[in-house]
């Protein structure tokens, strides 16, 4: 069976493996106290609205939470983690000036949930440009991810765009990893949530980062209230989309992005 490379906490190694294999794991990056704070922030909203997202794709025994930055300030340290930024710089900036969060979702796969259908996250964009990756995903294990509790299933090498219907079980592996680890995969890499055969939930936080000239999957300007957005530091607001892309329109006098005028 193919496996996912595990590399050290270094953006050069992680980006190289991600581009080569379509996926890579960096173990034990986020500290336990940060994970605890994020999990505590998610608990209330998970219980309140987590099951409002159930459907055939998301599953019916899985709690989900979108608009992460509306629910957890601590999560900003995960969404804008320097390792993620380093990997996104290397992979996405080949094709854009700036990238943004496409969507961010907490996923609690509960006991009894089955396998999610294999898919490509970037398939919601109805076109492809050969050689251009539209987005990458960073899936953080907030609890341990194991083969038994539904660790993300991944098909390494599937960024070759092979038809999903041709994929056989021997091409699949699972991103088993201790909590605090991060699985990166390309938007074109085939993957899915796994079956939870245990008696405890498996909780992950998945964020996509997309090229700055694409429409973000989630409308962050509406899903995170403006007053809340304004409390975040500049680099987080920029990731949410509060920035220009390139030197053309959308830059106004006094705009911090006005440096484009001088370039």
Ligand X SMILES: O=C(O)CCC(=O)C(=O)O
Beta carbon nearer to ligand X, 208 or 244: 208
With contact defined as beta carbons under 8 Å apart, do 184 and 138 qualify?
A: yes
Among 193, 201, 212, 241, binds ligand X (CB under 6 A): 193
With contact defined as beta carbons under 8 Å apart, do 156 and 173 qualify?
A: yes
Among 191, 195, 237, 238, binds ligand X (CB under 6 A): 191
Q: What's the chain's Rg over C-alpha atoms?
A: 18
The minimum distance between CB 192 and ligand X, in angstroms, equals 6
x/- string (CB under 6 A) for ligand X, residues 215-244? ------------------------------
Beta carbon nearer to ligand X, 194 or 257: 194
The minimum distance between CB 86 and ligand X, in angstroms, equals 23
Q: Cβ-closest residue to Fe ion?
A: 121
Q: Which of the choices Fe ion, ligand X, none does residue 152 contact, using the CB cut-off of 5 to 8 A by kind?
A: ligand X
Q: Does 152 bind ligand X (CB under 6 A)?
A: yes
Distance CA 110, CA 214 (A): 33
Counting beta carbons within 10 angstroms of the beta carbon of residue 160, is it exposed (0 to 12), middle (13 to 18) or buried (19 or more)? exposed
Distance CA 208, CA 134 (A): 10
- The piece of 19-27, 161-169, 187-195, 211-219 that touches ligand X (CB under 6 A) is 187-195
With contact defined as beta carbons under 8 Å apart, do 139 and 103 qualify?
A: no
Q: Does 204 bind ligand X (CB under 6 A)?
A: yes
Instruction: Give how far Cα 185 sits from Cα of 13, 78, 195, Å.
Output: 14, 16, 19
Beta carbon nearer to ligand X, 142 or 229: 142
As given in the structure block, the two tokens for residue 31 are 């500290």
Among 21, 108, 113, 121, binds ligand X (CB under 6 A): 121
């Amino acid at each position: 069976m193919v496996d996912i490379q595990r590399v050290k906490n270094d953006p050069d190694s992680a980006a190289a493996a991600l581009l080569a294999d379509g996926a890579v794991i960096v173990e034990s990056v986020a500290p336990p106290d940060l994970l605890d704070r994020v999990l505590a922030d998610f608990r209330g909203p998970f219980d309140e609205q987590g099951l409002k997202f159930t459907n055939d794709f998301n599953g019916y025994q899985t709690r989900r939470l979108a608009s992460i930055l509306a629910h957890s300030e601590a999560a900003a340290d995960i969404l804008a983690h320097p390792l993620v930024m380093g990997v996104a710089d290397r992979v996405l900036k080949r094709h854009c000036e700036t990238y943004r969060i496409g969507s961010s979702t907490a996923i609690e796969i509960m006991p009894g949930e089955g396998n999610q259908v294999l898919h490509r996250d970037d398939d919601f964009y109805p076109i492809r440009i050969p050689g251009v990756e539209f987005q990458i995903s960073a899936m953080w294990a907030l609890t341990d991810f194991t083969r038994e509790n539904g660790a993300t299933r991944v098909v390494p090498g599937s960024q070759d765009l092979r038809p999903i219907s041709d994929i056989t079980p021997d091409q699949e592996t699972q991103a088993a990893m201790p909590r605090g680890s991060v699985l990166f995969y390309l938007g074109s890499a085939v993957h899915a949530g796994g079956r939870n055969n245990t008696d405890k939930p498996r909780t992950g936080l998945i964020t996509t980062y997309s090229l700055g000239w694409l429409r973000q999957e989630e409308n962050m300007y509406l899903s995170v209230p403006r007053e809340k957005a304004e409390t975040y530091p500049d680099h987080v607001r920029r990731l949410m989309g509060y920035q220009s892309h390139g030197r053309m329109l959308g830059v106004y006098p006094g705009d911090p992005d006005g440096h484009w005028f001088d370039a």
